């Protein structure tokens, strides 16, 4: 079931989700969003979308959609939820969580960027 890379549909749905909320997609090989050096959503190499939420919103999302934590390269990504494929298709519904993710990212401590 795990894919080695995201399907074209997953990439299109992720782009559509970000456009719905007015967010800039970064990254060519691994699409993601970030603010102040903190990533808050991404398309995992395993082929699914993950979003970072506050602990309260994360629990609500996991309960509502029977979703699990995001796991990438065999490690659980702290604060991220794995967005089930059927939920990713509900762009308008999921956009509410993307907005919450963006708001949560604003509260995170800025990280220095590595770019010069």
Task: Tell me if residue 28 falls in helix, strand or coil.
Answer: coil
Domain boundaries, the chain: 8-107
List the beta strands (DSSP E) in 6-114. Answer: 32-35, 38-43, 49-52, 69-72, 75-83
Residue 90 backbone dihedrals phi, psi, to 5 degrees: -95, 70
Distance between CA atoms of 66 and 61, rounded to whole angstroms? 8
Residue 45 backbone dihedrals phi, psi, to 5 degrees: -60, -25
CATH topology of domain 8-107: Yope Regulator; Chain: A, (3.30.1460)
* Per-residue tens of pLDDT for the chain, all 116 residues: 344 578 999 999 999 999 999 999 999 888 999 999 999 999 998 899 999 999 999 999 999 999 999 998 889 999 999 999 999 999 999 999 999 999 999 999 998 867 65
Residues 6+ apart with CB under 8 A from 23: 33, 98, 102
Report how far apart, in Å, the C-alpha atoms of 104 and of each of 20, 27, 73, 109 are: 18, 21, 24, 11
114: DSSP letter: -
State pTM to two decimals: 0.90
pLDDT of residue 116: 58
pLDDT of residue 93: 96
- Mutual orientation of helices 8-21 and 91-107 as an angle, nearest 10°? 70
24: DSSP letter: P
């Amino acid at each position: 079931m795990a894919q080695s890379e995201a399907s074209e549909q997953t990439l299109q749905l992720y782009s559509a989700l970000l456009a719905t909320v007015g967010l800039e997609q970064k990254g060519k090989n691994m699409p993601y969003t970030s603010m102040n050096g903190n990533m808050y959503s991404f398309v995992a190499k395993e082929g699914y979308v993950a979003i970072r939420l506050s602990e309260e919103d994360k629990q609500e999302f996991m309960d509502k959609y029977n979703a699990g934590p995001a796991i990438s390269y065999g490690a659980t990504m702290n604060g991220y939820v794995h967005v089930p494929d059927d939920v990713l298709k509900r762009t308008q519904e999921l956009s509410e969580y993307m907005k919450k993710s963006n708001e949560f990212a604003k509260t995170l401590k800025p990280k220095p960027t590595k770019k010069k």
